[in-house]
Amino acid sequence: MPLAATGVLNVGWRPPKVLRTVRSLAFCDNLQMIPTRRCILSLLAGSTALFAGKTAVRRYAFEYWDVFTRHPLQGNPLCVFLDAQGLADQEMQALARETNLSETTFVLPANRVRIWTPLEEFPFAGHPTLGTAMALRKPAMKQIVLQEKIGAVPVDFEEHSDGFVYGEMLQPEPIFAEEHKPEDIARLLNVSPTDLLSDAPILNISTGRPNLIVMFKKFAAIKTLQPDWARIREYFAAGDHQRGFYFLTPETETPTARYHARKLVPRGEDPATGSAAGCAAAYFVRQGWVKSGERISIEQGAEMGRPSELFISAEKVGNKIGSVRVGGYAVKSFHGELELP
């Protein structure tokens, strides 16, 4: 099914009563998903089959947004269910497994937003926050406040002369936790300690979700990373607390970006990570590499074929880092309607 001029696919297909077994989402590779007609039919058919046995038909409109990009089918994909009233928690979890994206969001009255991964619910995540805010934005709206499990998350909008709308979220105040030895982390990542920046402490930081900030000297080293996930699990089981790595280097592919980033996880890779970018913003200002209040850009996702651009800033008043902001663009790539008996 080709993309229309607007970049939106209008999915009007309805699943038949006798369903074929089309359970896998075509071309879904870990956290990456390339939308195709087979993908959409699988989503609708598979979900309808999952909840067969009920009599009343429930209809749920959904939209797919590509976040932290101006181009359809780039950035980080997100599925937003615009009115999730009537869905039980187990149904939200099942639908998040069905989309097989890093996160799927479900909007409830009063801008309440539930964020689900294929495995669990998150209290906060970056690209789902921005993507959902973009999906809910009305013309000329300057701000929306999403009520997430972590609390209220405001998202401000700027209308640009090129027709794009820029959105920027205010993240929770940063928490600076433990520091790790470079030789320990290098061993977990199968790299030499000399590959890491010597003046860059390896810190666990949270602006809603914890991330271990690891700085590399060269782009080549970060591009070929192969972490030892079994050894990583064993290392952190000893008592240190972290929920993920965010790898960065000052060497970039695009001249407008200040840093290149990768977010590798055991089940794949994330093409754009707003929560981790917030941690990076706090880190850079703390280190003095970025001025207080200065907005810079991070590039991410090129290794997956989904290039993304994230804009970050943070402020420093005295010794306190705060006002962490992460922003970017988003485009709606397609939409449809889910029918559940």
Domain boundaries, the chain: 9-170+330-340, 175-327
With H, G, I as helix, E, B as strand and everything else as coil, classify residue 260. strand
Q: Is residue 324 pLDDT above 90, yes or no?
A: yes
> How far out from the chain centre does Cα 307 lie?
13
Give the whole-angstrom CA distance, residue 114 versus residue 14: 26
The stretch 28-33 carries a mean pLDDT of: 40
Token reading at 58:
């429930």
**pLDDT score for 241:** 53
> How far out from the chain centre does Cα 152 lie?
18
Q: Is residue 216 pLDDT above 90, yes or no?
A: yes
CATH code, residues 9-170+330-340: 3.10.310.10
pLDDT, one tens digit per residue, over 219-254 is: 999 999 999 999 999 888 766 555 689 999 999 999
Please tell me if the domain spanning 9-170+330-340 has the same topology as the one spanning 175-327. yes
> How far out from the chain centre does Cα 228 lie?
23
Give the whole-angstrom CA distance, residue 22 versus residue 310: 35
Best CA proximity match to 279, nearest among 216, 324, 249: 324
The stretch 152-159 carries a mean pLDDT of: 97
Give the whole-angstrom CA distance, residue 198 versus residue 209: 25
Question: In this structure, how many other beta carbons lie within 10 angstroms of the beta carbon of residue 302?
Answer: 17
CB distance 197 to 169 below 8 Å: no
CB distance 76 to 270 below 8 Å: yes
CATH topology of domain 175-327: Diaminopimelate Epimerase; Chain A, domain 1 (3.10.310)
- pLDDT-derived band at 267 (thresholds 50, 70, 90) equals confident
Token reading at 145:
């406040």
Among 19-23, 70-74, 330-334, the least confident range: 19-23
pLDDT, one tens digit per residue, over 114-148 is: 999 999 999 999 999 999 999 999 999 999 999 99
DSSP-assigned letters across all residues of 54-80:
B-S-EEEEEEEEEES-SSTT-SEEEEE
Please list the residues that pair with 270 across neighbouring strands: 263
Give the whole-angstrom CA distance, residue 39 versus residue 282: 38
Q: Is residue 47 pLDDT above 80, yes or no?
A: no
Give the whole-angstrom CA distance, residue 228 versus residue 179: 20
The stretch 151-168 carries a mean pLDDT of: 96
Q: Is residue 50 pLDDT above 90, yes or no?
A: no
Give the whole-angstrom CA distance, residue 43 versus residue 158: 33
> How far out from the chain centre does Cα 15 lie?
30
Give the whole-angstrom CA distance, residue 140 versus residue 144: 11
**pLDDT score for 236:** 85
Q: Is residue 4 pLDDT above 50, yes or no?
A: no
Q: Is residue 15 pLDDT above 60, yes or no?
A: no
Neighbouring C-alpha atoms within 13 Å toward the C-beta of 224: 7
Give the whole-angstrom CA distance, residue 261 versus residue 81: 29
Q: How far lies 32's CA from each of 11, 271, 282, in Å?
A: 21, 8, 27
More reliable by pLDDT, 304 or 16: 304
Token reading at 230:
């079994």
> How far out from the chain centre does Cα 220 lie?
24
Give the whole-angstrom CA distance, residue 161 versus residue 166: 11
Phi, psi of 12 (to 5 degrees): -110, 5
**pLDDT score for 192:** 97
Give catalytic residue positions: 103
